[in-house]
């Protein structure tokens, strides 16, 4: 019975660790967008530790033109650019307590996509109150992956979106852009949660099968 108990504990511990880590990544959405489009991006920062996140820095990918950001109460925003005035990094820093354990925060910004089809990677650096810096800059297979947005004409055809001029972009209110981006991010998060629940169910079934096999073996 001791072996059976150890098996159950190990299985459920691995299950909960997997479920937690799958949701803990810093992400930038949407994951696909059209060339030259003025896109409202959402940077989502969850906290995976027991200490608060007090700052996050996002590197703007080559070819992306950063335009503006949505203010968030309790956070100040600074940007750094090159000699030509192109924004290269954007930093959100807490002026209050930051993002506490078990919470997440979303930061919205508007940027123009490159003219050509490509994949752009969003490197992010998450600063914790205890001094640790988590670098979300690895590829998709790493433990700390960066988000990737596919810039493609197919995205434009699927969404019916068009590239906008500055005048057209100014006619849209910030609230409409924010709502659209939040809906897109929520849809992708819902898909991720469905996958996690499915995998959790499979893991639970496998653990039950293993338990029954162990019980039968112990009776022999």
Task: Quick: pLDDT tens for 63-72.
Answer: 999 999 999 9
What does the pLDDT look like over 130-179, one tens digit per residue? Answer: 999 999 999 999 999 999 999 999 876 665 544 444 434 444 444 554 45
What does the pLDDT look like over 194-213, one tens digit per residue? Answer: 555 666 667 677 777 677 76
CATH of the domain spanning 2-218:
2.60.40.2230
The three-class DSSP label of residue 213 is helix
pTM exceeding 0.85: no
Does residue 186 surpass a pLDDT of 70? no
pLDDT for res 173: 40
The residue-averaged pLDDT of 47-73 equals 97
CA distances from 56 to 153, 165, 172 (A): 31, 30, 28
Question: Do residues 66 and 28 touch, judged by C-beta distance below 8 A?
Answer: no
What are the residue boundaries of the structural domains of the chain, listed by start? 2-218
CA distances from 59 to 28, 50, 95, 165 (A): 11, 26, 21, 24
Distance CA 55, CA 98 (A): 8
What does the pLDDT look like over 10-24, one tens digit per residue? Answer: 444 444 444 444 457
Give every CB contact of residue 134 below 8 A, 6+ residues apart in sequence. Answer: 26, 125, 126, 128, 144
Share of the chain above pLDDT 70, in %: 63
The residue-averaged pLDDT of 2-11 equals 50
pLDDT for res 190: 55
Does residue 191 surpass a pLDDT of 90? no
pLDDT for res 192: 53
DSSP H stretches of helix in 23-173: 153-159, 166-171
What does the pLDDT look like over 73-132, one tens digit per residue? Answer: 999 999 999 999 999 999 999 999 999 999 999 999 999 999 999 999 999 999 999 999
Which tokens in the block code for residue 11? Answer: 């299985």
């Amino acid at each position: 019975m001791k072996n059976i108990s150890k098996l159950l504990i190990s299985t459920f511990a691995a299950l909960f660790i997997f479920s937690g880590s799958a949701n803990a990544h810093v992400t930038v959405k949407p994951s696909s967008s059209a060339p030259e489009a003025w896109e409202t991006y959402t940077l989502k920062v969850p906290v995976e530790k027991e200490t608060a996140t007090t700052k996050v820095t996002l590197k703007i990918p080559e070819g992306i033109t950063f335009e503006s950001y949505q203010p968030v109460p309790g956070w100040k925003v600074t940007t750094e650019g090159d000699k030509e005035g192109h924004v290269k990094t954007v930093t959100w820093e807490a002026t209050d307590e930051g993002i506490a354990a078990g919470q997440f925060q979303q930061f919205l910004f508007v940027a123009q996509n490159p003219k050509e089809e490509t994949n752009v990677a969003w490197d992010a650096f998450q600063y914790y109150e205890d001094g640790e810096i988590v670098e979300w800059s690895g590829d998709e297979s790493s433990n700390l992956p960066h988000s990737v947005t596919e810039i493609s004409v197919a995205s434009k055809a699927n969404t019916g979106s068009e590239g906008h001029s500055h005048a057209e972009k100014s006619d849209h209110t910030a609230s409409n852009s924010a709502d659209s981006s939040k809906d897109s991010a929520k849809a992708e998060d819902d898909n991720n949660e469905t996958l996690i629940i499915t995998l959790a169910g499979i893991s639970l079934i496998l653990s039950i099968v293993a338990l029954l096999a162990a019980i039968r073996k112990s009776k022999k």
